[in-house]
Amino acid sequence: MKIVVLVKHVPDAQFDRHLTGPGNTVDRDESILSELDEYALEAALQLSEARGGAKAGNEVIALSMGPAGAVNAVKKSLQIGASSGAHLSDDALAGSDAAATSLALAAAIRHLGADSPVDLVLTGMASTDGETSLVPAQLAERLGLPQVTFASSLEVNGERIVARRDGDAHADTVEASLPALVSVTDQINEPRYPNFKGILAAKKKKITALTLADIGVDAAQVGAAGSLTAVETAEARPPRTAGTIITDEGDAGIKLVEFLAAQKLL
């Protein structure tokens, strides 16, 4: 089985995050492998291992798109257990919106499937920076694949995928045949950490550097130029400041109600 897992290098949410530059794009200093992609990687590794792993010809390719630093998300994925990596990087990609991102990633996935077809594309449920959840659905549309998104469980039996998807009003069982695109939630598994052996092994694994020319995408189709939306203004919201803090002396519940009444919230 050949699985491509999308891994994004995102700003660490533990630090303040910023928008910068003319396109108001996210500042990527202090970035990490998106936590939500770790669940997709774990799902891929479990599927591969259940089929005998790399020895049995299973491949888990970690694919990232982004500036030089984004290769760190690929490296971390290799340490965790991916069999190889690919890093799509090109100055023209800067400022890509979901449409341009999905266009470039679709071309990269086609490229990775040129010698042998990709059976499964796995992604996290959303990036932890853009948070739109648009890219998985757009990729499925562009690649003509069935989309099984927000999977909280995933089984592959032969050519058939069975997943669970939790909605607000109902929980669905969803089925599709391979090849397919699956996005997974943080309910699906417990991602593993890289261990010492994995870190050593990763040094020998291959990372393919890809440019737009390699995947046959024109610079005008991506980046700010190829994006279908533009962020026009961005204003930092004043940070929330702490208000009144009291310590309960037996009457805090009553003081709380007085506060709510004063705020006209009752």
Partner 1 sequence: MAKALVFIDNPGAALKKSSLELLTIARSLGDVVVAVNGELHDDVVAALGAQGASALYRPSATDLDDYLVAPKAAYLAAVVAASGAGTVLLENTADGKEIAARLGVKLNAGVITDVVGVDADGTAHKSVLAGSYTTTAKARTAVAVLTIKPNSVDVGTPAAASTPETATIDVPADATANAARVTGRAEKPVSGRPELTEARIVVAGGRGVDGDFGPLEELADVLGGALGASRAATDAGWIGHDYQVGQTGKTVSPQLYISAGISGAIQQKAGMQTSKVIVAINKDAESPIFEIADFGIVGDLFKVVPQATEEIKKRKG
Ligand X SMILES: Cc1cc2nc3c(=O)[nH]c(=O)nc-3n(C[C@H](O)[C@H](O)[C@H](O)COP(=O)(O)OP(=O)(O)OC[C@H]3O[C@@H](n4cnc5c(N)ncnc54)[C@H](O)[C@@H]3O)c2cc1C
The residues of the shown chain that bind ligand X, judged by CB under 6 A, are 35-36, 186
Residue 244 lies near partner 1 (rule: CB under 8 A)? yes
Contacts of 245 (CB under 8 A, 6+ apart): none
d(CA 15, CA 56): 42
Residue 128 CB, shortest distance to ligand X, in Å, is 7
Residue 241 CB, shortest distance to ligand X, in Å, is 20
Residue placing its CB nearer to ligand X in the complex, 36 or 93: 36
Contact 97, 227 (CB under 8 A): yes
83-112: which residues touch partner 1 (CB under 8 A)?
97-99, 102
CA angle 232, 98, 205 (to 5 degrees): 130
Contact 184, 40 (CB under 8 A): yes
Residue 263 lies near partner 1 (rule: CB under 8 A)? yes
Residue 173 binds which entry of partner 1, ligand X, none, with Cβ cut-offs from 5 to 8 Å by kind? partner 1
Residue 41 CB, shortest distance to ligand X, in Å, is 13
d(CA 108, CA 113): 9
Piece of 13-21, 75-83, 112-120, 207-215 that binds partner 1 (CB under 8 A): 13-21
Residue 144 lies near partner 1 (rule: CB under 8 A)? yes
Residue 168 lies near partner 1 (rule: CB under 8 A)? yes
Q: Amino acid identity of 15?
A: F
Q: Nearest residue by C-beta to ligand X?
A: 35
Residue 102 CB, shortest distance to partner 1, in Å, is 7
Tokens, residue 8: 């994004």
Residue 170 lies near partner 1 (rule: CB under 8 A)? yes
Sign for the CA dihedral angle at 228, 234, 236, 240 comes to negative
Residue 145 lies near partner 1 (rule: CB under 8 A)? yes
Contact 182, 163 (CB under 8 A): yes
Which candidate, 225, 221, 224, 222, places its Cα nearest to that of 24?
224
Piece of 40-48, 80-88, 158-166, 201-209 that binds partner 1 (CB under 8 A): 158-166
Tokens, residue 69: 């630093």
Within 13 A of 105's CA, how many CA atoms are on the CB side?
Answer: 30
Residue 167 CB, shortest distance to partner 1, in Å, is 7
Residue 100 CB, shortest distance to ligand X, in Å, is 26
Residue placing its CB nearer to partner 1 in the complex, 85 or 124: 124
